[in-house]
Amino acid sequence: MLDPQVFTNRTVLTAALAALLSFFGVVGIMSYYPLFLQGVQGTGATLSGQMLTPFSMLMAFMGVPVGLLLARTKRYKWIYLLGYALATVATCCMVTFGSETPVSMGVLVTALAGLGMGMVPTLNTLVVQFAVPKRLLGVAIAAIFFVVALGNAITPAILGAAMNATYEKRLEESLPAELDLLIDKTTLASLADPRVLMSREAMAGLQGTLERIGDHGPALYGQTVQAIRQALEHSLKRLFLISAVAMLLSFLLIGTIPEVSMDVEVQDRRMPASS
């Protein structure tokens, strides 16, 4: 059972809420940036994975220098602010990405996000340990991991719903008007999937259907592909905007986190009823 008493501690509550909001940025990069690379920019799956390698490596590695800095300085708030600031800047930059954005810029921005977000897990674990008395150490850590698991569960659903709604609306406005008269309903319905551009079978079927209508077919196919790509770009930029706003809120929230002493003796104090 999760003792709700830990959430009366301001440090634990602030760190937990900021961590929850930060998952909008993490999920936006890890789950939807590859879709942007492959669907909007036309890169291959291998290259899109390679571009996220610096992000993943920095997320895993940054806990080591952060732990050393905490041990030396006994101050964590400036590291918190730096980590969330870097991640916020990175997600804001992603809102400006388009089909012509250089690959090197994408690698730089995602690496910056990995650098910032890689600082957070270690900070969360250590800070909450020093914010509560020893008898609540396990409960406090469990509370943080519960919030992290919650964020990992709900953010893909929220971001995915927002992207799909935006994509379908924009696609309906962008598709050639005569398309629904030339292709069957099943093929037309398949275009509502934002990942349709990455399906060779679906695109080959659409191309074959349109080429059979005559000389106008290839041009109509090109217009349809362009409409899908534009709708996908518009919906993903909306998703990145949501991620950026959530990261900005988490940065502002972490700016209010109180600085507690990281001396071991402080853990023996009583936790107040509310902070």
Give me the tens of pLDDT residue by residue for the chain, a chain 275 residues long. 667 778 788 888 899 999 999 999 999 999 999 999 999 998 888 898 899 999 999 998 998 899 888 888 888 889 999 999 999 999 999 999 998 899 899 999 999 999 999 999 888 888 888 888 888 888 888 888 888 899 889 999 999 999 999 999 998 888 887 777 777 777 777 788 888 888 888 888 888 877 777 777 788 888 888 999 999 999 999 999 999 999 999 999 999 988 877 765 444 444 444 44
CB atoms within 10 A of CB 265: 7
Q: What is the DSSP letter of 38?
A: I
What homologous superfamily does CATH list for 4-166+230-262?
MFS general substrate transporter like domains (1.20.1250.20)
3-state helix, strand, coil in the chain (%, to 5): 80, 0, 20
Reading the block at residue 26, the tokens are 């993490």
Question: How far is residue 24's CA from residue 19's CA, in Å, rounded to a whole number?
Answer: 10
CB atoms within 10 A of CB 105: 13
The residue with tokens 């935006």 is: 166
pLDDT score of 154: 93
What's the number of CA atoms in the CB half-sphere (13 Å) around residue 71? 7
Q: Which residues contact 21 (CB under 8 A, 6 or more apart)?
A: 151, 246, 247, 249, 250, 253
Residue length, the chain?
Answer: 275
The residue with tokens 């990069």 is: 29
AA identity, residue 216? H
CB atoms within 10 A of CB 269: 11
What's the number of CA atoms in the CB half-sphere (13 Å) around residue 25? 38
pLDDT score of 73: 83
Reading the block at residue 118, the tokens are 């890689």
Question: How far is residue 82's CA from residue 122's CA, in Å, rounded to a whole number?
Answer: 14
Instruction: Confirm if 63 and 123 have CB atoms less than 8 A apart.
Output: no
